Amino acid sequence: MPVITTDRLTKRYPKVTALDQLTVEVGEGVTGLVGANGAGKSTLIKILLGLTPSTSGRATVLGHDIHDDGAALRARVGYMPEHDCLPPDVSATELVVHLARMSGLPPDAARERTADTLRHVGLYEERYRPIGGYSTGMKQRVKLAQALVHDPDVVFLDEPTNGLDPVGRDEMLGLVRRIHDDFGISVLVTSHLLGELERICDHVVVIDAGVLLRSSSVADFTQASAQLAVEVTADPGTAAAALTAAGLQVTRDGVLLLVDLAGEETYDLVRDVVADQGYGLVRLEPRRHHIAEVFEGQATHVAP
C-alpha cells in the first residue's frame, strides 16, 4: 500500500496557489520532498496532517482518507515542524514524556520510550536541562525525538537540517536515514537543498510553485548518463582537441571533458590519447546526473 497518495490536491490562499492539482504517490522508505522556498512543501505536510484544509482534491496517508479518517491517521504519523516551537522552560525529557502521554502511552511506557528516543537522537545528560539553553542542533533533535516517541509508521520531517552547520547537517541526515533503516518507519523529509536529499533518499518528489515537476527514484535521477567525465593535467582546450582528433565527441564543462560513450572501447581510446600526449589522468568515470539538473531542464516550466 502506498504511504501517501494525493489526487489533484489544491490549496489556494487569497494571493497564491500553494498547491496546484498535485497528484503524486509516495511509497515506503525515505522520500525527499524538494522545492525552493515557497514551493508548497510545508503546505502539503500540513494538509496531510489535517492542520490546514485543502481547497480541493483528495489525499490518503497509510490508506486513511485525510478528510474522513484524520484521527486514525494522526495516531500513526509523527511530525517534526520546520520552525522553532519548543517551550524554553521545560527539559527535553519533560516535553517528550508529555507528548508521549498525549499520544496515549501509559506513564511508564512514556518515560521508557522517551529515554530510548532521546538517546537515539543523540541527547544524553543535557536532556534534563531546560530547552531554552539548547543549541539549534539540540533543538532539532528534540523535535525529531517527539516525532518518533509514539512509534509511528511514518514521519513527516519539515526541513530537519534548517539552521545547522555542515557537521550538524551530516549528523541529522544520518539520523533521518536510520529512522527507516533501524525502525522500518517510512519518512517524508523536505529540503530546499537538492544535494543533501540525493544522499539519503530512496525516492525524490520535486515540486515548484505547487506543481509536480518530477517523482522518481534517486537511482533514476542520478543514473549514469551516456558520457564519460574526463579530467587531465593539461589545458582542457588542448586536451579536448586531441581527443576530438582521435575521433571522439567531446564537450567541455569547466575543467571536465565530457566524452560521448560509444561502448567500452571509448575508455581505451581516451586512455591511449592521454598516454600518447603525456598528460596525467585525474579522472575517468561515467558522468552521473544530479538532481539539480531537473530544475535546469525545467527552466521554462519554472519561470513562465
Residues that bind ligand ATP (CB under 6 A): 13, 16, 18, 35, 37-43, 82, 159, 192
Strands lying side by side in the sheet with 154-157: 77-80, 154-157, 186-191, 30-34, 203-208, 211-217
Residue-wise burial string across 8-17, b where 16 or more C-beta atoms lie within 10 A, e elsewhere? ebbbeeeeee
- Return the number of the residue (18 or 200) whose C-beta is nearest ligand ATP: 18
Q: How far is the CB of 125 from ligand ATP (least distance, A)?
A: 33
Measured at the alpha carbon of residue 11, what is the angle toward residues 10 and 15, in degrees to the nearest 5?
130
Nearest distance from C-beta of residue 13 to ligand ATP, angstroms: 4
Q: How far is the CB of 84 from ligand ATP (least distance, A)?
A: 13
Q: How far apart are CA 136 and CA 118, in angstroms?
A: 16
Tell me the backbone φ, ψ of residue 287, rounded to 5 degrees. -80, 135
Selection from 118, 125, 180 nearest residue 153 by Cα: 180
Torsion from C-alpha of 113, 119, 125, 126, nearest 10 degrees: -90
Smallest gap from Cβ 157 to ligand ATP, in A, equals 12
In the complex, least distance from residue 197 CB atom to ligand ATP, rounded to whole angstroms? 13
Q: Which is closer to ligand ATP, CB of 14 or CB of 278?
A: 14
